[in-house]
Amino acid sequence: MAQAEFDLIRRYFAVHKPQHRFTQLGIGDDCALLHLPADYQLAVTADTMVENVHFFADVEPELLGHKLLAVNLSDLAAMGAEPFAVTLALTLPKIDHPWLQAFSQGFIKLAQQYHVDLIGGDTTSGPLTLTVQAMGAVPKGKALLRSNAKVGDLIYVTGQLGDAGLGLKIKQGYVCDNPEPALARFNQPQPCVVQGLALRDVAHACIDISDGLAADLGHILEKSGVGASLDWDKLPLSAEVQRYIQQTGDWQLPLVAGDDYQLCFTAAAQSQLPDGCYCVGVIEAEAGLRIQRGGQPQTLEVAGFEHFS
């Protein structure tokens, strides 16, 4: 590896020393070393973001650093795992110090907020591509799977839907009186780590909403071999999303727009839930997803985002 790359790693990443009790060795050797207590399982996930596919070329690097880590922490949250370590693979077209300074700041700030160590990675030259692998710990048998929804469970989401989708519409030219909250949701999603941990002993099935509620709930239904009814009128919507729907008629936005990173989970009726959860439907034996709006059955015309379609 070239001296410039060593300097880059030292300057922006290795300065942040590992803190977590599960990290024995961080950046600097051929591998990091982790040590989990015997009654825990390791939850592992990875997500890649490619310029012009997952983010606009002109995005602020600090927001990009935040979002890259947030989407990975969101996957761990959806399993009920406590995040503790990540690796970062960077493919960069050139060494741009102001960019790296801002990017690493956005990344490290979120990592520190959740006591997550950056324990290693890789640095290569090529078209801008960012990959994080994230590791979390979950007590044995407590992980929240997509496959565990039961007939009669209620379906919940952890917060408002459609704000990130509205943020994207605003970037594409939609004029909104109060654009900041939707733009912040799009640019700087907050992973539901705390909610995921609180749901360990409550939720039956869980997923994070990256591709829209309809598509992501669809994964729970498929893996659990069940169906569901959703009540559109119960969806938690911000005032801005409500106004957008009134103006455009696009009622599907909160069901099909991605990037909100709320959790969708199912739980037995009368479960003790964390604050801020909204019941939006019920799990049923009949396969498929049925949507009611204003008492009328509805059909979705748009599917979630798919990469190879």
| 121 is a contact residue toward ligand ADP (CB under 6 A) | yes
Nearer to ligand ADP, 9 or 166 (CB): 9
Tokens of 209: 């909403």
Pick the binder of Mg ion from 3, 4, 30, 94 (CB under 5 A).
Answer: 30
Regarding beta strands 40-50 and 296-298, do their DSSP bridges make them parallel or antiparallel, or are they unpaired?
unpaired
Determine the Cα–Cα distance for residues 121 and 135; give it in Å rounded to an integer. 13
- In whole angstroms, give the CA distance from residue 297 to residue 238: 23
Q: Which one of Mg ion, ligand ADP, none is in contact with 286 (Cβ closer than 5 to 8 A by kind)?
A: none
Q: What sign for the dihedral angle of Cα 107, 108, 113, 119?
A: positive
Shortest Cβ 25–ligand ADP spacing (Å): 9
Tell which residue, 144, 63, 145, 70, has the closest CA to residue 105: 63
d(CA 54, CA 299): 28
Which CB, 43 or 132, lies closer to ligand ADP? Answer: 132
Minimum CB separation of residue 30 from Mg ion in Å reads: 4
Q: How far is the CB of 42 from ligand ADP (least distance, A)?
A: 18
Instruction: Find how far residue 134's CA is from the centre of its chain.
Output: 12
Work out whether 2 is an interface residue with ligand ADP (CB under 6 A). no
Tell which one of 30, 177, 275, 306 touches ligand ADP (CB under 6 A). 30
Q: Shortest approach of ligand ADP to residue 30 CB, angstroms?
A: 4
238 contributes a contact to ligand ADP by CB under 6 A: no
* DSSP characters over 210-221: SS-HHHHHHHHH
Binding site for ligand ADP (CB under 6 A): 1, 9, 13, 27-30, 88, 90, 118, 120-123
